[in-house]
Amino acid sequence: MTGFQSWFHAIDTSRIIEWLMFAAAALLAISVHESSHALSAFWLGDDTAKRMGRISLNPLRHLDVVGFIMMVVAHFGWAKPVPINPYRMTKINNPKLGMALTAAAGPLSNLLLALLFGIGFYISLYAGGEALWVKWLGYQDPSGWHYYLTLFLSRCLTLNAGLAVFNLIPISPLDGSKILAIVLPQRTYVQLMRYERYGFAILALLLFTGLLDGPLNTLVSGLLKGVAAVAQPIARAVTGI
């Protein structure tokens, strides 16, 4: 038992907790994102995704195991694509616009989640008082359920902000490539889509070479500042600080 106890005590419990928090935050963000695609398509008249059970917050409906592992390990992953047929969108007489609106629903849902979790994060942070601020700034060892609740809300905030920005990149298969369709002439868009099958490889190359790090970090940081500008006054009003 001595060897096992030594191994057990050597485990970095805080790192495991943070990993589990990120995994839970990712499952929630993915479920809302993909359900929003399916729901928006249904509202526009296409019930393809609804008939396949994709309007659901059950993460198993949307989970791609390899993509999820990649997201947790490398912070770059994917979910099961939502089947959408823009030509069945009977409530809008423009398949290209319908596809763009459905695509935009995913990042928009993550933006709204970022705002909600931002409000929750600042409420939890302010409610913790000075002690929690000290721990958050790293001057004490973090502990206690309140600290981990605040940490979880922070992870949900940053993850959803990151997904909202990342998915707006106009490279297939990301949502931004479909939103781009409404601002490009049809001929130009058709020519661009000829290279759609190379989109994932291009995106992976840009990510793993770090070429997107600067622009993404700048945009996510700006979005987080915007969320804070809205969330902090609400949190102060709720907590009385």
Q: Is 7 exposed, middle or buried (0-12, 13-18, 19+ CB in 10 A)?
A: exposed
Q: At what angle do helices 13-43 and 65-74 cross, to 10 degrees?
A: 130
Whether 170 and 176 have beta carbons less than 8 Å apart is answered as yes
Whether 161 and 226 have beta carbons less than 8 Å apart is answered as no
Q: Is the peptide bond between 173 and the residue preceding it cis, with omega within 30 degrees of 0?
A: yes
Question: Is 34 among the residues known to form the active site?
Answer: yes
- Provide the 10 A C-beta neighbour count for residue 81: 13
Active-site residue, from 18, 34, 130, 196: 34
Rounded Cα–Cα distance for residues 64 and 157 (Å):
22
CA dihedral 207, 117, 236, 14 (to 10 degrees): -80
Structure tokens belonging to residue 102: 């459905």
| Catalytic residue annotation | 34
